[in-house]
Chains A and B, each alone.
Chain A
């Protein structure tokens, strides 16, 4: 198994060509993906062409940088010009992206090779990948289990060596939780660091593009490749983007690590708890100091999220009306039937559940009681973190309450499925960066992720703490 940073170095030394790496990934996809279900669309032809171009650039001494020639995959929420883009929904079947998302454009400018579009839960709504309208994605480490979600394909593809790095989206944990389940690294940047232009919207005040790779350095290289100010995204924040990978020293002497007491309560699997405690010891052995902190509104985060995210989703998804995109049903019965039949028949169960809930919390008579109240509780949750970061430099906790569960185990109980995200959701509500790093394995040999949470736009420090943890744990 080679990591993104290893192949990047091998490419720069001329030890390997982009064409051979791309062919190896495509062969792996060809042989194994009918079983795993990571990809919804494979762009073999354009990938091979781009790889040849990259090799030519390198031969002429004009290579672009760390990502030039590296094969990567992109979640199906994100536009890649000319490729199908469905968000794993039947309502967008047959729709092709008319332009590149800014993150896609940035990857192309960096010379990365785009292998194709990755499977996910429909419109990024789900925690197991099982809400894809096309096919279920399996965990490459145990194919009876979920790879996590909603960026199921993004995590599984990296774990199965069908791409050295991938892009996902993270609204409530959709990059970090699957990274944890698949034993890889997943980073959700600070809200505003990465452009959302050309990314299908689910819950706009929470959505952020994230990066996945085998190691922390891989995530750092991917982040430098996609981050940056974009005038086409009004939520984009103008901050300089450093070469994050070059700033990874692993030196964390004096770093104060917050340990929120509310994270270690009933419902947390004892093996996961032990793994987090072990990770904390590893950080201590490198000179970090643990500090007990309190995030009193942690237990209200999930309810807050399901009001805010569904409200925003019901509004964002109103654009799928049967007129402008993909398929159209009910035409012979008039315009209203086009809206209702197209949406009623082509949205999946979870999407309809969230649209109904969102319409309810926004409807007259309930708006203040649910939506505005949830926005106020969100302020309290964000204030918890702000207070904590006056005392500490980073916060540690589990990424998910337990290792990967069995496919089919939670599909009929939405609330149980939602509880998988209790540790990741507060981070989105507060707009902070969070990273999941492999912390060890359960007795069933399933990976367990450690979550580190950083200050707003503190990606350099956060990645460095994650790098120190990775170095110390050797998972």
Chain B
């Protein structure tokens, strides 16, 4: 399993991680090693097998649609930088 520098840059971008050149090459080596190990899965015949998405069979259950007290907007925002009850973000449109 080989990764190019370009592959790693793309992966870091998809993951929204700013990584230094040193970090990129160190993670490249890690990923190559781990994915070589993961290759063992390719040898298994899974053609008739259904994917398992959860640990135990379960149905989606809904809770009754009744209002209950919550922690509120400010409570949930916790320590996010906010002003006047609104979350402050950098300018997104130039």
Question: Which residues of A does B touch, CB under 8 Å?
Answer: 94-96, 98-99, 190-192, 205-206, 231-232, 234-235, 237, 297, 299-300, 302-304, 306-307, 314, 318, 321, 323-326, 328, 330-331, 334-341, 343-345, 347, 352-353, 355-357, 359-360, 363, 369-370, 372-380, 382, 414-415, 418, 428-431, 456
B90 to chain A, nearest CB (A): 5
A-B CB pair tally, cutoff 8 Å: 163
Verify if B81 is at the interface (C-beta below 8 Å from A): yes
Query: Does B85 sit within 8 A of A, measured CB to CB?
Result: no
A51 and B55 CA atoms in complex are apart in Å by 38
Contact assessment for A325 and B79 in the assembled complex, using a CB-CB cutoff below 8 Å: yes
Verify A373–B46 contact, CB threshold 8 A. yes
In the complex, how many residues of chain B place their beta carbon closer than 8 angstroms to a beta carbon of chain A? Answer: 48
* B2 partner residues in chain A, CB cutoff 8 A: none
Q: Give the CA-CA distance A326 to B78 in the complex, in Å.
A: 8
Q: Show 7 A/B contacts (Cβ-Cβ < 8 Å), sorted by A.
A: A94-B79, A306-B38, A307-B38, A326-B79, A343-B17, A357-B34, A376-B51
Interchain CB contact under 8 A, B79 and A95: yes
Contacts of B30 in A (CB 8 A): 353, 414
Give the residue name and chain of the A residue nearest to B14 (CB): A359
Minimal Cβ-Cβ distance residue in B for A206 = B55
Beyond A96-B79, A325-B79, A376-B46, is A340–B17 a contact (Cβ under 8 Å)?
Answer: yes
B17 touches A363 (CB 8 A): no
Residues in A with CB closer than 8 Å to B14 are: 359, 363
Pick from B15, B17, B40, B56: contact of A191, CB below 8 A.
B56
B4 vs chain A, min Cβ distance (A): 13
Task: Give the chain B neighbours of A304 by CB distance below 8 A.
Answer: 41
| Contact (Cβ within 8 A) A303 B41 | yes
Of A340, A375, A418, the contact of B18 (CB 8 Å cutoff): A340
Contact B55 A431 (CB under 8 A): yes
Bitwise interface map of B from 36 to 56 toward A, beta carbon under 8 Å scored 1, else 0: 011111101010011111111
Tell me whether A456 and B56 are in contact (CB under 8 A). Answer: yes
**Docked complex: B42-94 residues within 8 A CB-CB of A:** 42, 44, 46, 49-56, 58, 60-61, 63, 71, 75-81, 87, 89-92
Query: How far, in whole Å, are A319 and B50 apart by their CA atoms in the complex?
Result: 30
Given contacts A356-B12, A379-B49, contact A325 B80 (CB under 8 A): yes
> With A231-B63, A370-B38, A414-B30 known to touch, is A98 a contact of B15 (CB < 8 Å)?
no
